[in-house]
């Protein structure tokens, strides 16, 4: 199989505020959008003909992966104007696909070994994986290596084998997509009509990002795989340990202590006397002022952090400007997403373009909407909508 269809049209409502201006597949993990990992894994397996189904905020995808040339692939774009479901998305690609093709989700972290698992299978086939928390996925019932049924997000799980959303199909699949909006429904219909759908269990990497804090766990899983590299200028007295990758034109000033795995982008100014601890990703054009400590966090492009900040288990999206003495520490916290309560150990989740005054303290689990402004010395908690003003 030489062709893959990647579904990348979705918004990712539950990942707000991070998906207000970018699609889910453009969330950055260890310095790269999730989609790029999928594309790179395909390229590594020699699959270079890629059809990308895009929709929500697709310009961000065009700007990032473009024609695919820099990643060594040829990308053809098709648009799903309304994000109605995965089968509907796939149907948009009908005119562009070969006789046989792979289908993958652009918002899952998929490695090359996982894709290799599909290569020996005859379509129609899918990859499944044993997970600890099957209820948020499609639970798959198997008979030997044949799929009997897929139940989406069941109340009770019959097994802990779930659908990875990675498939090998032939063009025949399009005959079965009628009113069905999601691929599992189409597969259930095919199975009901006597078609065989094969399944293979995988042990290799397949990770899903569903909630804002998943960004942190994925980040810490991917970071150790990023090779160390030193671009830019490392001033005398800076100490870099473990896997640290520094982009070009970045300056690490004296007495910084950076303990990998850490990825720092291009054109950043770090320190002097800043401390960056595992597992942290820092975007491009970021300023980190003296005496700031960052631990297990993801910092977006164009962010500026003032002096003396303490940031732990936090995500700070692009372009946020934070004055000195900002504190975001991590404790077990209740976070509410879509009426669901989650108990997680997390710091602050800051949307893009926020302006945070000096001495602000973020309580664990706070989610701050995009372009919010928080005045100095405030204590913030809970969930703040976009463009909040805290005075």
Partner 1 sequence: MCGIIGYIGLRQAQPILLNCLGRLEYRGYDSCGIAVSEHGINVCKDAIRVEALKKTMPRLDGTAGIGHTRWATHGEPSPINAHPHLDCSGKIAVVHNGIITNYQNLRDQLSGEGHQFVSETDTEVIPHLIEKYYNGNLETAVAAALNDIEGSYAIIVLATDEPKLVAARKDSPIIISLGDRENFIASDVPAILDYSNRVVYLEDGDIGVITTDSIKVSRRGNEVAVKVHQISWTVEDAQKAGYEHFMLKEIHEQPKVIRDTLAGWVSGEALEDLATMWGDDINALLILACGTSYHAALIGKQIGQELLKIPVRAELASEFNYSTQPLARTLAIAITQSGETADTLKAMKKLKEVGCQALAITNVVGSTASRIADRTLYTRAGPEISVAATKSFTAQLMVLYQLMMSHPEIGARRLNSMTKELRQLPNKVQQVLDNEGEIAQYARELSQYENIFYIGRGINFPVALEGALKLKEISYIHGEGYAAGELKHGPFALLGSDTPVIALLAQDDTYEPMLTNIKEVKARGSPIIALTREGDEDIEKIVDKVLTVPQVEAIFSPVVNTIALQLLAYYAAREKGCPIDFPRNLAKSVTVE
Residue (287 or 361) nearer to partner 1, CB: 287
Q: Least separation, in Å, of the C-beta of 225 and partner 1?
A: 20
268 binds partner 1 (CB under 8 A): yes
Q: Which residues of 140-168 are buried (b: 16+ CB within 10 A; e: fewer)?
A: beeeeeebebbbeeeeebeeebbbbbbbb
Of positions 36, 41, 49, 86, contacts partner 1 by CB under 8 A: 49
CA proximity to 136, closest of 351, 333, 338: 338
Stretch that binds partner 1, among 29-37, 194-202, 281-289, 308-316 (CB under 8 A): 281-289
For tokens 């002022």, the residue is 289
302 binds partner 1 (CB under 8 A): yes
| Other Cβ atoms closer than 10 A to 109 | 21
Residue (247 or 261) nearer to partner 1, CB: 247
321 binds partner 1 (CB under 8 A): yes
> Per-residue string for binding with partner 1, 90-119, x by CB under 8 A?
-----xx-x---------------------
385 binds partner 1 (CB under 8 A): no
| CB contact set of 275 (below 8 Å; sequence gap of 6+) | 256, 257, 258, 292, 293, 294
Q: What is the DSSP code string of 229-263?
A: EE-SEE-TT-EEESSEEE-TT-EE-TT-EEESSEE
237 binds partner 1 (CB under 8 A): no
Residue (135 or 233) nearer to partner 1, CB: 233
Residue (202 or 288) nearer to partner 1, CB: 288
| Token pair recorded at residue 222 | 């991917």
Kindly compute the dihedral angle of the four CA atoms of residues 297, 300, 303, 309, in this order, to the nearest 10 degrees.
0
Stretch that binds partner 1, among 10-18, 207-215, 248-256, 341-349 (CB under 8 A): 248-256
Residue (63 or 156) nearer to partner 1, CB: 63
163 binds partner 1 (CB under 8 A): no
Dist. CA 349–CA 356, nearest whole Å:
13
Dist. CA 330–CA 268, nearest whole Å:
25
Residue 200 CA to chain centroid, in angstroms?
Answer: 24
Contact residues toward partner 1 (CB under 8 A) are 2, 21, 46, 48-49, 52, 54, 57-59, 61-63, 65-67, 69, 72, 74-77, 95-96, 98, 232-233, 248-251, 266-269, 284-285, 287, 301-302, 304, 318-319, 321, 352-353
């Amino acid at each position: 199989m030489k062709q893959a269809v990647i579904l990348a049209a979705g918004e990712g409502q539950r990942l707000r505020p991070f998906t207000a201006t970018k699609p889910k597949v453009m969330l950055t993990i260890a310095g790269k959008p999730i989609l790029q990992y999928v594309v790179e894994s395909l390229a590594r397996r020699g699959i270079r003909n890629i059809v990308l189904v895009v929709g929500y905020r697709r310009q961000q995808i065009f700007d990032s992966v473009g024609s695919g040339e820099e990643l060594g692939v040829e990308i053809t774009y098709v648009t799903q104007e309304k994000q109605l479901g995965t089968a509907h998305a796939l149907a948009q690609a009908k005119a562009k696909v070969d006789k046989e093709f792979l289908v993958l989700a652009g918002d899952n972290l998929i490695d090359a070994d996982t894709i290799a698992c599909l290569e020996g299978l005859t379509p129609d086939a899918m990859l499944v994986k044993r997970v600890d928390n099957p209820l948020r996925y499609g639970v798959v019932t198997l008979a030997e290596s044949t799929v009997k049924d897929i139940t989406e997000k069941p109340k009770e799980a019959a097994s802990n084998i779930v659908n990875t959303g990675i498939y090998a199909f032939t063009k025949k699949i399009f005959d079965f997509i009628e009113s069905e909006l999601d691929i599992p429904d189409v597969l259930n219909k095919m199975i009901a009509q006597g078609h065989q759908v094969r399944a293979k269990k995988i042990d290799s990497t397949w990770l899903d990002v569903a909630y804002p804090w998943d960004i942190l766990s994925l980040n810490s899983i991917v970071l150790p795989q990023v090779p160390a590299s030193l671009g830019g200028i490392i001033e005398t007295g800076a100490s870099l340990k473990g896997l640290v990758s520094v982009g070009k034109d970045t300056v690490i000033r004296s007495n910084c202590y950076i303990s990998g795995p850490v990825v720092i982008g291009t054109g950043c100014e770090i320190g002097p006397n800043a401390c960056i601890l595992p597992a942290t990703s820092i975007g491009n054009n970021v300023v980190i002022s003296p005496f700031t400590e960052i631990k297990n966090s993801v910092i977006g492009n164009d962010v500026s952090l003032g002096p003396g900040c303490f940031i732990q288990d936090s995500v700070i999206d692009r372009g946020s400007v934070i004055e000195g003495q900002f504190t975001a520490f991590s404790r077990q916290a209740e976070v509410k997403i879509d009426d669901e309560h989650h108990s997680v150990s997390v710091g602050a989740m800051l949307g893009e373009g926020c302006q945070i005054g000096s001495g602000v303290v973020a309580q664990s689990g706070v989610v701050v909407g995009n372009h919010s402004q928080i005045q100095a010395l405030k204590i913030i908690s809970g969930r703040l909508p976009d463009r909040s003003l805290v005075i």
